[in-house]
Every structure is written in structure tokens, then in C-alpha cells.
Structure 1
Amino acid sequence: MTSNYQADHYVAPIDETPLLATDSVRTDQAPLSLWAEAWRKLRRRPLFIVSALLIVLLVVIALFPGLFTQVAPNDNCDLQFSDGAPTAGHPFGYTFQGCDVFSRVIHGTQASLSVGVLSVIFVLVIGVTLGALAGFFGGWLDAVIARLGDIFFALPLVLGALVITQLPFFKDNKSVWTVVMVIVLLAWPQMARITRGAVMEVRNADFVTAARSLGVSRMGSLLRHVLPNALAPIIVLATMELGVFIVAEATLSFLGIGLPGSVMSWGNDIAAAQPSLRTNPAVLLYPATALSITVLSFIMLGDALRDALDPKSRQR
């Protein structure tokens, strides 16, 4: 049995559909660059805002500790206050030697951040330079740098630092600079490897080929075109490694092979708090908490930058 019924077809008027708004293109604005698009995304991410505010606060504490405490960290130590409870003006209590814990945590920020920042700067200089040369030119230069990096990759950070710090120069000259030298010596291969991979992805791009055809030298092409477009993963790794280097300094100082005991740092304070661990665990808790918050801030900042700069990990 067949039916002669025909359904009516309804087509909505074009002005009642969202197609015009969806398909419209803004021609009065220039397209956003990678960095402008990343900044637009970062401004809307609570993870970035919180981590950036914490890092700014830590930098201010490191540069101007006098704004947060008027108590000298070592000059007012008194054994009668050994492992004392918090009092007015001393909110974190006292150490085993009768020193103010809050003042030591505030002043210890400078050394810990200094090691992290200086280590990242030198790792960037060495790792980015060697990685960019290896990735762009390849050949025997790439092979030599790769094998050299493999040698240092085979050394774990703590084990390698234990060996290096026993050398006469490092053993007799403990300071912030010697700790930075040890960390840089063991940490540059990872930065070089990331840089090498990023440069290799960009070096064969059309705009690089066009620059070479216009007479730009190979080194000029690397510096002006390749490297600026390979910075995204480098910046992300540098941000995360800053927190790792701060932990490395604390670990080395805790083991007694890092900063000398005369330098206030969170690692030295954690090591000095061991005798009071059972009677007054708060002495250990405060520098450890400051260390954890600092490292977490840089890790969160690195995660936010990775999501904003890496197209493969952006949230759709």
C-alpha cells in the first residue's frame, strides 16, 4: 500500500540562523602571534595567576627580607630559647640554637632562589647554545655533542654531585657559585637535548628556506628565524627546572656537600632541624613547607606555560 502523503520541507530564513555569526571573520584585526595567543590564554587560567603571584612574592622576599622581619637571623640567638614555642614577634618559634625560625626562613629564601635562578641561566646559555648548533648543523658536531651529553646523562644528580664535590677545588671553596657549577655541569644535557629537537622541527620550515634563498647566512638563519620559533619548549623546561634546581640545592646542603653552614638556606635549616625532629618538629616543618611551596609554584607555572605554548597539549 502506497501513500500519497508528502511531507513539507521547511527551510529557515538565513537571517534567523547563527551561520552568519559563526562564519564571520574579523578582517580589521591582525592575527595573534604565538606569544600573544599564549598570553591571552594564560590570563584566564587560575593556575597561572596563583603560581605567578606566589613567585612574585618569593622574589620580593628574597630581594627585600627586611620588609617581612626585623629580627636578625643569627645575631639574636640565645640558648635559653632553645626549641622554644612561638611568642610575640617570633611566630614560628626558635631553633635548637635559640635562633628565630621565621627570620631564618625569610632570609633563607635568597640563597635558595639564587642557586635556582643562576643555575637556570647558565644551563640555558650552555644547553641552548650546544643544542641549537647540534640540531641545526647536524653531522659530526651533532654526534660529538650527543655523545658528550650521554656521558653526563649517565651520572645521577646526587651521585654525580657527591663525586664532583670531593674534588679539591669544590671541597675547599663551598659557596653559592660552586653549587651552581655542580648543578650546571650535570643538568645542561637535558636542555641541550630539548633544544636540539625543537630546532630540528623548525630548521626545514618554509620561512627558513625562504630566508636562505634570500641570502641569509646559516648562522643568521639560526639566530633570526629558527631559534626564536623554537623557544616555547625551552621556556617551559627552564621554568620547571628552576624548581628542580632549588630542590637539588636543598638536597646537597642537607647531605653536607652543598652550601656551607654559614649560609642560610632551606636545605641547611632542614639539616640543622634533625636533632629537634621529635621534640619540636615545627622547626623542620617551616623551611620544608617554604621549599615545597616554591617548587610547586614553579611546577604549576611550567604546566600553565606548556598548555599555552605547546599546540599538542592545548585544551580544545
Structure 2
Amino acid sequence: MSNILPGGPAIAPEESPAPPSAETKASKPASLWSDAWYDLRRRPIFIISCIIIAVLVLMAIWPSLFSSVDPFNPRTCELSTARQLPSAGHPFGRDNLGCDMYARTIYGAANSLKIGISTSIFAALIGGLLGLVAGFFGGATDTVASRITEIFFAIPSILGALLIGSTFRGSGLGIWLVVISLTILGWPMTFRIMRAAVITAKSQDFVVAARALGAGPMRIMFRHLLPNALAPVIVVATINLGGFIAAEAALSYLGVGVQPPEISWGLMIADAQRRFLEAPLPLIFPAVFLSITVLAFIMLGDAVRDALDPKLR
């Protein structure tokens, strides 16, 4: 009811502000990561690659889920059944030593993924940290780090890994020798990506404002620059992961990677190629699984790259 003052106009009562609607509450400032996740969920290539990778990871962590210990034992071999064709009991057949190909293919995923993921993480950490420092400080630090990186770029990856693997083959490191070899030769790419991203980001207004407020170098690097330069590094690390898995298979094929009695798709391909014309299936199955794995990580990296780069949308 309106208030009427004597001799004056009617004054309407003050209206209380309307409560915020659900739409207003839900609307938050958009960020690069939220937009990227929104875009990724609508990309079939991302969903397909994630499903494939999830199955492969499950194979590596829990191989018995796909093949029971008996009769699918990867280390139980019978020479009398060598190169046996696929059957109901052995869906992939047997290899040249009479080992069950299905069990060896399933169990071979563990070492391949372990080496690929470990190498990708270590290469991203080393290259990312050095690139962050070099890009932020510049000057002599950047010059020395860039020249060292160029030296590693000049070394052919497979040749360098062969040299390291053959030199330290008897060190007892096992699969970690492959991880170290590939990490030593794999970090320079991440270094260049991180360095370029940091050089671009450090001239932005938010960094200038942080300096003006008295923020120190460590706070600026890890609180302001790193989150804004991380997206391209994640993309490169994801794509490189597939490349590292392929490189491990190549090293195992050449005899300096995973060593028996360990199981690896590269070792299986190396053993099967000697009698490929007589029995092609022992080579085809691990090669197909290797190709699908590498392709899945490359597809995932491409999808993440497209989602994180607004120019490509």
C-alpha cells in the first residue's frame, strides 16, 4: 500500500531487490580450461580416444581381467604347439616358441604404457622447468639453456637412445634404462614450447601488475606464468606419449629396450619377424595393438590442442 504524505504526492514503498535466479548463480566467468572441457566433451575423436586409452590402462593395471592366469599364462610355452593358428582356447594362436599370443599381447601393454607415461612425465617436468626459468630470466640464462637444447636436438633420437641403451645395458635398471634414454632425448621439445609460452606471457599486464605489487620471481613464475603457459606443454606431452611408446617398441625391436623375460610389444614383433612368412599372425597382433595405442594418444593430443587453442575452434 502506497504512503501518502499530507499535501504531497504519493510515495511508493521501496522494492526489495529480486533474488538472483538460478541462471545468474550458475553463470561464472568463463576460463580457458572450462571452455576447453566443454568443447572436448562434444568431440567424438576425444571420446573415442579416451575409451581406447581407458581399456589399455585397464589392461596394464589388471591384465587378469582380460585373460585368466590359467590357461592364458604369458610365460607358459610349449614348443610342440609353436605357430598354432587361433583356436577357441587361444584366440590369437601361439608364437614361434609356443607361447599364447593373446596373453602376451595383453600383458605387453603394461611395460609399453609404463615407459610411455613415465617418459612423457619426466620430459615434461625437465623441459618445462628449464623452459620456465630460461624464458623468465632471459639473458645469459636463456642463451646457455638454448645452446644446450640445440646440442640435444642435433642428436638423432633413436641413434642416441641406442647408444645409451647399449652402453648401460648391464646396469640392472631394466625398463628404467629405456625411460632415462628417451627422457634425455625427449625434453628439448618441451623446453622450446614452454620457453616460447613464457616469453609471450611475461609481457602481459597481469605480470606487470604482479611485479608492481612486489611479487618475487618464484611467485611470478609458478603462480602467474606457469598456469598461463601450461596448455601447450600438456598438448605436446600428450602427443609425445604416443611417440615414446613407438620409440620403446623400436628400441626393444633392436635389442636395447625391454629385455626378456619382460614382455613388450616391441619384443614380440622382433621375435615374430624372423618367421613372418611362415606365421604372420604373431607379428600382426602386437603390431595392431601398438598402432592403435599410438594413434589413440595422438588423437587425444590433437583434440586437446584444438580445444585449448581458440583460433582452431
Structure 1 length normalisation: TM-score?
0.88
- Once the two structures are superposed, residues 54-79 of structure 1 have per-residue CA deviations (whole angstroms, 9 ceiling, x without a partner) of 1111101100000000111012x101
Map of 2:161 onto structure 1: 161
**How much has 1:218 moved relative to structure 2?**
1.5
Aligned residue for 1:187, secondary structure, equals helix
Name the counterpart of 2:19. Answer: none
2:107 equivalent in structure 1: 107
TM-superposed CA distance for 1:186, in Å, is 0.7
Structure 2 counterpart SS, 1:44: coil
| Structure 1 spans left out of the alignment, 5+ residues | 1-25
The residue number in structure 1 matching 2:135 is 135
- Aligned counterpart, 2:216: 217
Contact 1:174 1:259 in 2 (8 A): no
Query: What's the secondary structure of 1:165's corresponding residue?
Result: helix
2:59 to 58, 61, 72: 61
Deviation, structure 1 residue 215: 1.5
Structure 1 consecutive aligned stretches of length 4 or more whose deviation exceeds 6 Å: none
Distance apart, 1:100 and its partner CA: 0.4
SS at match of 1:273: helix
Residue in 1 aligned with 2:73? 72
Letter in 2 for 1:303: D
Q: CA deviation at 1:83?
A: 0.1
Question: What secondary structure is seen at the aligned counterpart in 2 of 1:234?
Answer: helix
2:41 equivalent to 1:43? yes
Q: Which one-letter code corresponds to 1:62 in the other structure?
A: A
The 1:277–1:180 alpha-carbon spacing in structure 2 relative to 1, beyond 3 Å, is same
2:175 is the alignment partner of 1:204? no
**2:269 partner letter:** I
1:43 maps to amino acid: R
1:21 alignment counterpart: none
Structure 2: stretches of 5+ with no match in the other structure: 1-22
Q: Is the 8 A contact 2:253 2:270 kept in 1?
A: yes
Corresponding position: 1:309 with 2:288: no
Distance 1:171 1:165 in 2: 9
Which one-letter code corresponds to 2:63 in the other structure?
P
Task: Name the counterpart of 2:295.
Answer: 296
After superposition, the C-alpha distances for 1:96-124 in whole angstroms (9 at most, x for unaligned) are 00000000000000000000011011111
Instruction: Give the TM-score, by structure 2 length.
Output: 0.89
1:272 matches 2:274: no
The residue type equivalent to 1:72 in the other structure is N
- What is the CA–CA distance in structure 1 between the aligned matches of 2:136 and 2:89, rounded to whole Å? 58
Distance 1:239 1:163 in 2: 26
Residue type of the alignment partner of 1:98: G
Give the partner amino acid of 2:242: G
Deviation at residue 261 of structure 1 after TM alignment = 2.3
Which amino acid in structure 1 is aligned with residue 166 of structure 2?
Q
Residue aligned with 2:166, SS:
coil
1:222-273 CA distances to partner (integer Å, 9 max, x unpaired)? 1001110111100000000000000000000001111112110000000010
Question: Offset of 1:172 from its aligned partner?
Answer: 4.0
Structure 2 counterpart of 1:17:
none
The CA distance in 1 between the partners of 2:116 and 2:286, in whole Å, is 16
Within 5 Å, give how 1:15-54 maps onto structure 2: 29-54=27-52
Task: Provide the C-alpha distance between the structure 1 equivalents of 2:251 and 2:166, rounded to a whole number of angstroms.
Answer: 13
**Alpha-carbon distance in 1 for matches of 2:229, 2:171:** 40
Aligned to 2:262: 263
Contact 2:169–2:256, Cα closer than 8 Å, also in 1 = no
- For the aligned residue pairs, the C-alpha RMSD in angstroms reads 1.2
> Structure 1 stretch 234-243 or stretch 171-180: which is displaced more?
171-180
Of stretches 126-135 and 208-217 in structure 1, the one that deviates more from structure 2 is: 208-217
1:180 corresponding residue in structure 2: 179
Q: Is the 8 A contact 1:174 1:258 kept in 2?
A: no
Q: Percent identity?
A: 50
